[in-house]
Chain A
Amino acid sequence: MSWLLHLIFSFTSSFFFAVLFDAPKRLFFFAGVTGATGWIVSRILLEVFNMHEVYATMFGSLVLGIMCHLMAKMLKEPATMFMVPGIIPFVPGGLAYEATSLLVQFEYNQSLNTMLEVILIAGGVAVGLLFADQLSKLIIHKNKNYADARSRKMN
Chain B
Amino acid sequence: MVMYMTDLYETEEKIKDVVMLAARILLEAGAEGTRVEDTMTYISSALGYKGSNSFVTNTVVTYLLHNGTHPRIYRIQTRDTNLIRISETNRVSRHIVSGELSLDEAWEKLNYIDEAIDDHPLPFKALAGGMVGLSFLYLQGGMMIDVPTAILAGGIGYFVTEYISKKVETQFIPEFIGSFIIALLAAFGHMLIPGGELSVIIISAVMPIVPGVLITNAIQDLFGGHMLMSITKLLEALVTSFGIGAGVATVLIFL
Contact = CB atoms under 8 A, between A and B. Distances in A.
Contact of B84 (A24, A84, A94, A129): A24
Contacts of A70: none
B135 A22 contact: no
B132 A23 contact: no
A155 B45 CA distance: 12
- Counting contact residues on chain B (CB < 8 A from A), the size range is 35 or more
Given A21-B82, A100-B248, A87 B45 contact: no
Nearest to A149: B42
Interface in A2-53: 5-6, 9-10, 12-13, 16-24, 27, 39
A93 B83 contact: no
A126 B221 CA distance: 11
Interface of B, secondary structure class, is: helix
Interface residues of A, number: 52
Interface string B108-146: 000000000001100011001101101110111000000
B83 A21 contact: yes
A12 B135 contact: yes
A117 interface: no
B213 A21 contact: yes
A103 interface: yes
11 contacts: A12-B131, A17-B212, A19-B120, A80-B86, A85-B212, A93-B207, A97-B248, A100-B249, A104-B252, A122-B215, A145-B42
